[in-house]
Structure 1
């Protein structure tokens, strides 16, 4: 996966690139939950160089096990034409789970950018998109998927939920988070500058960089998002202070959400990794601006908060 150099993960269209490669275990751990979605589908990996991409590797190895109809991969190449790789199901090979299917490589006229006419045409023909898109272009990327009404499962940064292009879809339950989130290790090139933290070199000399707040975004339904979050705390005004400038209580840990409060509750953004739309309603997501009075009388501006309501018959609150 190729990504930009703003301490996140992505490719810079301006020229300089840092390359981060998704570990196949990260892909396997997430995609194992969605196997039933892929039967007879066309899968498009539109930000993946097959020479390096573990997304391509995963789908090529599991092509017949998943029952795919077609697999297509394209990627961005700076200052030169790119190419696409394609695997089409051969019915006489169905059932041969150990069979590694052959692919056809075809040159593209353009650079393979996911916004290019060639990539858009391939997108129109696809059923499901699975990839790690440029974080710097994440809002545009998701907007494109929505515009063409595509199913998708893509890697992103948790902070993207606050983007004005994405937040309405989160609140409307059109997009949600997948099963796995947190800090993940990515392979980086040999010339990658060593870091003091979140960096290591393994026994084979391979460099790795750990990135935080990584999650999966999808519109494929999951069983996890319909599991109730276990909450057992009781509301008390002494334990749950209200914001100075918003009629909501502050709950600094998701585990401390009171079970009996019916008003608006401010929780950390990590709540979205456990969000059940049958249990809670999302009122808003605030990047900043919520003010909370501290014990010494000073006012603290709170970091990103999700504002929610318990819709399961809570008692206290407004």
Structure 2
């Protein structure tokens, strides 16, 4: 079944059918880990949610709801063209679409792109509490302003880029457009689930050495030449979970529901994957938790893995390092170089281990795949214990 899920994701990537929308529960679970580590992590920060339709996105819904609790300075969300699952997550359409600025089709889908900029969230309905309903009421007021011919400081239309010859370069709401790039420049943090097919370009656009970010990607992104060097240099890292830690994505009606865990919940079509992950440069507690490991001798005696228990650790045919097929089989008393699966990064503690390189032909560290008994092992990261 894992291969089936991977095949569908690969097909989606090639077809750019990567409209995967994140569930509230997964966002909350991940973000709470950063809050627990640093309660002020979002305080006085400008947060940009690009490619997150503010009328649909659970990212917008979550951070708008938590605006005051987190002490957010400003929340910006932008849309990109009409979404295939419009009005399925956050029921703000079509009532809140300004009549004069947005073209709405017969099926109530917006034909333009827009942005929302929140500088405050207050108790609009007088209930004594602040929640998403207050955001909805505020947006309704802003929509009324626009419909009466006045300007709104919160809700506005995105125009996109145009070359001098009038040919559009990047359409309205595209993260690469001058408009959204300008919003990026003023943001402190960028948080979203970007299209898988544009992950490399999106990460580069973020400029992770200058901007804090929290995004979702594919596990294979770890090995990208644009990504791995940053992980190796401890400039970016994984979030608090990967694989099944992300319980599933909401997909449009046109997307096939596949796999045993595909389901429909509250009217949303959800697919579950086992190869998605959070990637970030925002610190969290999990990455500072040391792995509890057995010695090499105890692994050989007591490991739960059949290909470890009762077997000596093997050295690669073409490289002076031992093969460690599972993260929990890393020997605590081995000081040499070890080849571990890329899933090791989910448990990586930079105070405990140093990342040396990747088994990539273009990587300067090794320059080839590691061979074991004449066979090339699947992707390996080379690590070494930190000497203390």
**Above 0.5 in TM-score?**
yes
Alignment check: 8 A CA contact 1:131 1:155 kept = yes
Instruction: Give 1:80 shift.
Output: 5.8
Indicate the residue corresponding to 2:275 in structure 1. Answer: 213
Alignment check: 8 A CA contact 2:78 2:113 kept = yes
Match for 1:107 among 157, 164, 173?
Answer: 157
Alignment check: 8 A CA contact 1:179 1:273 kept = yes
Over 3 Å counting, the alpha-carbon distance change for 1:266 and 1:19 in structure 2 is same
Match for 2:384 among 306, 309, 312?
Answer: 309
Instruction: Give 1:238 shift.
Output: 5.4
Matched, 1:272 2:345: yes
Instruction: Give 1:231 shift.
Output: 1.0
Indicate the residue corresponding to 1:41 in structure 2. Answer: 45
- Within a 5 Å distance, the mapping from 1:123-272 to structure 2 comes to 123-146=184-207, 149-183=210-244, 184-195=247-258, 197-202=259-264, 206-234=268-296, 239-272=312-345
Over 3 Å counting, the alpha-carbon distance change for 1:61 and 1:212 in structure 2 is same
Alignment check: 8 A CA contact 1:185 1:210 kept = yes
Indicate the residue corresponding to 1:89 in structure 2. Answer: 120
- Within a 5 Å distance, the mapping from 1:62-81 to structure 2 comes to 62-77=66-81, 81=112
Structure 2 alignment gaps of length 5 or more? 1-5, 83-109, 140-153, 161-171, 301-309, 361-367
Structure 1 alignment gaps of length 5 or more? 294-298, 314-318
- Within a 5 Å distance, the mapping from 1:1-20 to structure 2 comes to 7-8=8-9, 17=17, 19-20=19-20
Instruction: Give 1:46 shift.
Output: 0.6
Aligned partner of residue 149 in structure 1, secondary structure: coil
Alignment check: 8 A CA contact 2:257 2:263 kept = no
Instruction: Give 1:263 shift.
Output: 1.0
Matched, 1:284 2:357: yes
Indicate the residue corresponding to 1:29 in structure 2. Answer: 29
Instruction: Give 1:140 shift.
Output: 1.4
Alignment check: 8 A CA contact 2:122 2:130 kept = no
Over 3 Å counting, the alpha-carbon distance change for 1:42 and 1:164 in structure 2 is same
Alignment check: 8 A CA contact 1:10 1:134 kept = no
TM-score between both structures, scaled by the size of structure 2: 0.71
RMSD over aligned Cα atoms: 2.8
TM-score between both structures, scaled by the size of structure 1: 0.85
Deviations 1:186-233 (A, max 9, x none): 1222232243x2453336554221122111111111121111111112
Alignment check: 8 A CA contact 1:198 1:211 kept = no
Instruction: Give 1:139 shift.
Output: 1.4
After alignment, is 125-134 or 78-87 more displaced?
A: 78-87
Q: Distance in 1 between matches of 2:292 and 2:208?
A: 36
> Greater Rg, structure 1 or structure 2?
2
Alignment check: 8 A CA contact 2:217 2:278 kept = yes
Q: Distance in 1 between matches of 2:321 and 2:54?
A: 49
> How many pairs does the alignment contain?
300
Alignment check: 8 A CA contact 1:62 1:97 kept = no
